[in-house]
Amino acid sequence: MNYIFDIGNVLVNYKPIEFLEELFSDSLVVDELYSTIFQSPQWLDMDRGLLSFCEATDIFCAQKPNLQTEIKKTMQNVNAIFTPINETIKLLPAIKEAGHGLYYLSNIQVEIRDYLISKHEFFKLFDGGVFSCDVKLIKPSPEIYQHLLKKYHLNAESCVFFDDMPENVTAAKKEGMKALLFTTAECVTILKSISGTDKCWM
C-alpha cells in the first residue's frame, strides 16, 4: 500500500485566520487581510508557481494601499502559520517500517516549500512527492494526481490519499485511489483494518 499525504492541515497546521488574529487586534483588519491575501487568485498563482512572494506582496499592496504595512508584516511572517501536527507526524515512521510507500501531494508555494523542507526532518521519511509549485498544477486538477502516479510508477488502486479538502478527496477517488477526508490522525490509524464502512471513509 502507498500512503499519500496532503501537507496543510494534515502534517502541518494551516489556519490563516488564527495567524492573523495573533498579529493584529482589529477584527476588521483581520477580515480584510484574509480576503485580500489568502482568498485571492494571487495566492493560488503562488501555489501554481506562477507568482513569487515578492510579486504577490506588491500586488496586494497596490490593491490595498491603506494596509501596506499590515500586508508586508503578514507576508514576512507567514511561515509561522505552519506548525507541526505531531499526532500525524509520529505515525509516519510506523507506516514506513511496515513496508508501505510514503508520498506527499500538496498545493504549496516555492518559499513555503523551501521553509518546510528545511524545518522538518519528517520529509526525509518520504519516498517522494509532488509540490504544486514545481509542476504548475494544483489540486483538485486531475493532472496533478496523474503526475504523481506516473512519476513514481504507482498503481492508483494501491494508493490511499489523505486530504482535509473534500474536493481534493473526490478528485483522488476519480483517479482510482482510495481517499479519506482527513480530520484527525485517527483517520490514518484506522487503516490497520481498511474497510469501506469505517467512519473516516467518504
* Gap between the terminal Cα atoms of the chain: 19
Q: Which fold has domain 2-13+83-193?
A: Rossmann fold (3.40.50)
pTM above 0.75, yes or no: yes
Rounded Cα distance, 84 and 82, in Å: 7
Per-residue pLDDT of the chain (202 residues; tens, 9 = 90+): 999 999 999 999 999 999 999 999 999 999 999 999 999 999 999 999 999 999 999 999 999 999 999 999 999 999 999 999 999 999 999 899 989 999 999 999 999 999 999 999 999 999 999 999 999 999 999 999 999 999 999 999 999 999 999 999 999 999 999 999 988 766 666 554 443 334 343 3
Dihedral, 136, 139, 144, 148 alpha carbons, nearest 10: 120
